[in-house]
Chain A
Amino acid sequence: MNGRILSVVGGMFLLTVCSKGDQGNAAAAPAAPPAPAAPATSDPSADGGTITGKIKFTGTAAKNPTIDMSEEAACKAKYPSPPTEEVVVAGAANALANVFVYVSAGLPANAKYQAPSTAVVLDQNGCRYHPHVLGIMVGQNLEIKNSDPLLHNIKAIAKKNRGFNVSQPNAGMTRDVTFSAPEVMVNLECNVHGWMHAYAGVRPDPFFAVSGADGSFSIKGLPPGTYTVEAWHERFGTQTATVTIAGTESKTANFTFAAH
Chain B
Amino acid sequence: MALVATQDTSAGKQVYTKWCAGCHGDNGAGDGPAARHMIPPPRDFTGAVYQIRSTANGQLPTDADLLRSIDEGLPGTAMPGWKNRLSDRQRRDVLAYIKTFSTFFADTTQRPQVLEFGKEPGGGTGAEALRVGRQFYDSIGCRKCHGDQGRGDGPSAPTLKDDAGHPIFAANLHENWRFNGGPTTTDIYHRLRTGLDGTPMPSFSDLIDQKFLTETELWRLAEYVRSLSPGEPPVVRDVIHAPLVTRVLPRAPDDSAWNAVDTYWFPLVGQVIHKNRWFAPAVTGVWVKAVHTRDSIALRVTWDDRSASPDSAWLGHLGRVLATVQSDDSTREQPALWPDQMVVEFPVTIPTGMERPYFLMGSSSGPVYQWRWTSASRSAAVAGLARGIERFDSLPRGGVGARAVYDHGQWRVVFTRALASLDTASQLPFRSGRAIPVAFFALDGSNGEHGTRMAVSTWYFLALDEPVPARVFISPVLAMLLTLGLGMLVVWRAQQKTSYRRQQ
Contacts and interface: CB of A to CB of B under 8 A. Distances in A.
Interface of A: 71, 150-151, 153-157, 159, 162-170, 173-175, 180, 191-194
Contacts, number: 83
B156 A167 contact: no
A5 B254 CA distance: 78
A214 B195 CA distance: 40
17 contacts: A71-B144, A151-B141, A153-B202, A157-B163, A162-B59, A164-B203, A165-B57, A165-B202, A167-B141, A167-B203, A167-B206, A169-B140, A169-B212, A173-B210, A180-B109, A191-B145, A191-B156
A166 B206 contact: yes
B160 interface: yes
A170 B207 CA distance: 9
Interface string B169-213: 000000000000000000000000001011111111111001010
Given A165-B202, A180-B109, A191 B58 contact: no
A73 to B, nearest CB: 13
Interface string B75-113: 000000000000000000000000000001000011000
10 nearest CB pairs, A to B: A151-B141, A191-B200, A194-B159, A164-B58, A153-B202, A167-B202, A169-B140, A165-B202, A162-B58, A71-B155
Interface of B: 47, 49, 57-60, 104, 109-110, 139-141, 144-145, 155-156, 159-161, 163, 195, 197-207, 210, 212
Given A150-B141, A151-B141, A194-B159, A165 B195 contact: yes
Contacts of B210: 173-174
Contacts of B145: 191-192
A174 B207 CA distance: 10
Contacts of A180: 109
A70 to B, nearest CB: 9
A238 to B, nearest CB: 20
A141 to B, nearest CB: 15
Given A163-B49, A167-B206, A193 B156 contact: yes
Query: Interface of chain B, helix or strand or loop or mixed?
Result: loop
A37 to B, nearest CB: 30
Contacts of B201: 165
B272 to A, nearest CB: 30
A162 B197 CA distance: 10
B59 A166 contact: no
A156 B47 CA distance: 13
Contacts of B60: 162
A71 B141 CA distance: 12
A217 to B, nearest CB: 30
A192 B143 CA distance: 10
B57 A166 contact: yes
Contact of A155 (B47, B155, B156, B200): B200
Given A164-B58, A191-B200, A192-B145, 5 more contacts: A71-B156, A151-B141, A153-B202, A155-B163, A166-B206
Contacts of B160: 191, 194
A150 B156 CA distance: 14
Nearest to B212: A170
A46 to B, nearest CB: 32
Nearest to B164: A157
Contacts of A192: 141, 144-145, 156
Nearest to B201: A165
A20 to B, nearest CB: 12
A169 B200 contact: no
Contacts of A154: 202
Contact of B197 (A71, A165, A167, A168): A165
Contacts of B202: 153-155, 165-167, 191
B57 A173 contact: no
A180 B139 CA distance: 34
Contacts of B204: 167
B44 to A, nearest CB: 11
A146 to B, nearest CB: 10
Contacts of A150: 141
Nearest to B58: A164
B197 A163 contact: yes
B224 to A, nearest CB: 16
B41 to A, nearest CB: 16
Contacts of B206: 166-168, 173, 175
Contacts of A165: 57-58, 195, 197, 199-203
Contacts of A173: 206-207, 210, 212
A157 B203 CA distance: 15
Nearest to A161: B58
B353 to A, nearest CB: 55
B404 to A, nearest CB: 26
B141 A169 contact: yes
Contact of B207 (A156, A159, A169, A191): A169
A191 B203 contact: no
Given A191-B145, A192-B144, A169 B57 contact: no
Contacts of B203: 164-167
Contacts of A153: 200, 202
Q: Which of A71, A154, A168, A169 counts the most B-chain CB atoms under 10 A from its CB?
A: A169
Contacts of A194: 156, 159-160
Nearest to B194: A165
Given A165-B201, A167-B202, A167-B203, A151 B140 contact: yes
Given A151-B144, A166-B202, A167-B206, A191 B159 contact: yes
